[in-house]
Chain A
Amino acid sequence: MIEMIDIWKTFESHKGGHHTILRGVHGRIRKGDHVGILGRNGSGKSTLMRILSGVENPTRGRIRREMSISWPIGGAYGLLSQVSGAANARFISRLYGTPLQQTQDFVEEFSELGRFFYEPINTYSSGMVSRLLMGLSFAVDFDCYLVDEALSTGDVRFAAKCRHMLEVRRENAAMILVSHNASHVRQYCDTAAILRNGALEFYEDVDEAISAYQGL
Chain B
Amino acid sequence: MIGNVPRRQRDGGLAAQLRVLHALVLREMLTRFGQSRVGYLWLVGEPVMLAVGVSTIHWITGHGLPNGVPVFMFYGLSYAPFFMFRSIVSRNAGAINGNRSLLYHRSIHLHDLMASRTVVEFTAILPVVSGFVLGGMLFAGVFPANPGLFLLAMVLSALLGHGVGTLVAALIVIFEPLERVVHPLTYLMMPLSAAFGMVDSMPPEAQKVLLSIPLAHVNEAMRAAMWGDKIVSHYDLGFIAVWVLILNFLGIAALRAVRHRISMAA
A residues in contact (CB < 8 Å) with B: 11, 46-47, 50, 53-57, 69, 71-72, 76-84, 87, 90-91, 93-99, 102-103, 106, 109-110, 138-141, 161, 164-165, 168-169
Contact residue among B22, B101, B265 (Cβ-Cβ distance under 8 Å from A78): B101
Q: Output the least CB separation between B96 and chain A (Å).
A: 13
**Contact between A57 and B265, CB atoms less than 8 A apart:** no
Contact A80 B7, beta carbon cutoff 8 Å: no
| Given A83-B35, A94-B23, A96-B8: A55 in contact with B104 (beta carbons within 8 A) | yes
Residues on the A chain within 8 Å of B4, using CB: 106
Contact indicator A94/B104 (Cβ below 8 Å) = no
Given contacts A11-B263, A79-B101, contact A97 B2 (CB under 8 A): no
Which chain B residue has the least Cβ–Cβ distance from A118?
A: B35
A71 touches B6 (CB 8 A): no
Q: A82 near B101 (CB under 8 angstroms)?
A: no
Contacts of B23 in A (CB 8 A): 91, 94-95
Interface residues on B, range: 20 to 34
Sample 9 A-B pairs with CB under 8 A, ordered by A number.
A50-B265, A55-B106, A71-B106, A82-B31, A97-B19, A98-B7, A141-B5, A141-B6, A169-B5
Residues on the B chain within 8 Å of A76, using CB:
101
Q: Is the CB of A50 within 8 A of B2?
A: no
Q: What distance in Å separates the Cβ of A107 from its nearest Cβ neighbour in chain B?
A: 9
B1-45 with Cβ < 8 A to chain A:
1-9, 11, 16, 19-20, 22-23, 26-27, 30-31, 34-35
Instruction: Give the residues from 175 to 211 in chain B that come closer than 8 angstroms, CB to CB, to chain A.
Output: none
Whether A55 lies near B264 (C-beta < 8 A) is yes
A94 and B31 contacting across the interface, CB-CB below 8 Å: no
Q: Would you call A56 and B22 a contact (CB within 8 A)?
A: no
B63 within 8 A of A: no
Query: How far apart are the CA atoms of A154 and B171 in the complex, in Å?
Result: 42
- Cα distance A110–B1 when bound, in Å? 9
Cα distance, A54 to B1, chains bound together (Å): 31
